[in-house]
Amino acid sequence: MAPSFLITLAMFAASAIAAPPFQPPPPGTGTPPKGSRTCDISSTLVLPPTQTALALPSSPASFVLLGVGVQNYTCSSAGTYTSVGAVADLYDLSCLSKLPAVFNNIQDVAYGAWKLAPPNVKTLGTMGGYPHMGSHFFNTSPSGTGTSPVWDFRAVSAKGNPDAFVLAAKVAGIPAPTATNDVDWLQLKSVTGALATQIYRTDTRGGVSPTSCTAGSAPISVKYVSKYWLYGGTVKV
């Protein structure tokens, strides 16, 4: 067999298991001021015009992030899925917000790449140059019962700052205006932590469970992407 064929085969095998490429931020993206990881945020949160459940934020945005991860569900004895939280990587979008045409569609580009990633790929890595800020996950609620969503920069972009997280409670939600298989848009408020006082999940793609399951079947993880907008934070990165 010709060596060049074997090399081609080896390259094909390697590309088949790698995550699909995610294009780096395009020219025209903002540059953070010296000493900062983030840019001024040039975009504002837009809620569907007819909805009344979510209130607009009451302060300037502290962070705008892309979340790329999974929503988890367990199968109940009644044969329906119950949400048991999520885990996602958080990437900064503040510098991209200078380019509305790209910023407004970044969730579609990211979701396209994320859906194509094979099951063994658990993260999109550095997302082709978008700064990795931290992660989103669920922790035991302060009451000791149930779990609460957390956005946490402490292990990534704010090492050494014990307050660089927010554990939140849901205020309200609306069905995603895009599609029934996109998870709800949400408004949340801080319970503990200094990363934000208000959090919004918007521009969701994916993440909804199938409508039914076989009782006793294993938990599932459904890929999703969203924007997260954090307001009122006092953490500098």
Binding region for ligand NAG (CB under 6 A): 70, 72, 84-85, 87, 137-138, 221
**CA–CA dist 164, 184 (Å, integer):** 26
**CA–CA dist 163, 158 (Å, integer):** 9
Taking the least distance from each CB to ligand NAG, the nearer of 89 and 182 is 89
Taking the least distance from each CB to ligand NAG, the nearer of 67 and 232 is 67
**CA–CA dist 221, 228 (Å, integer):** 20
Closest separation in Å from C-beta 19 to ligand NAG: 15
Closest separation in Å from C-beta 73 to ligand NAG: 9
Virtual torsion, Cα 118, 114, 220, 81, nearest 10 deg: -150
Closest separation in Å from C-beta 85 to ligand NAG: 3
Closest separation in Å from C-beta 209 to ligand NAG: 12
Which tokens belong to 86? 């999520």
Taking the least distance from each CB to ligand NAG, the nearer of 86 and 93 is 86
DSSP state of 207: B
Taking the least distance from each CB to ligand NAG, the nearer of 41 and 90 is 90
Closest separation in Å from C-beta 171 to ligand NAG: 20
Taking the least distance from each CB to ligand NAG, the nearer of 95 and 186 is 186
Instruction: List all residues 6 or more positions away from 221 whose beta carbon is below 8 Å from its beta carbon.
Output: 70, 71, 72, 73
By C-alpha distance, which of 128, 134, 90 is closest to 109? 128
Taking the least distance from each CB to ligand NAG, the nearer of 104 and 181 is 181
Taking the least distance from each CB to ligand NAG, the nearer of 83 and 178 is 83
Residue nearest to ligand NAG (CB): 85
Closest separation in Å from C-beta 91 to ligand NAG: 18
DSSP string for residues in 135-190:
EEEEEE-TTSSSEEEEEE-TTTTSTT-TT-EEEEEEEEEE--SS-TTBPPEEEEEE
DSSP state of 80: -
DSSP state of 5: H
Closest separation in Å from C-beta 88 to ligand NAG: 10
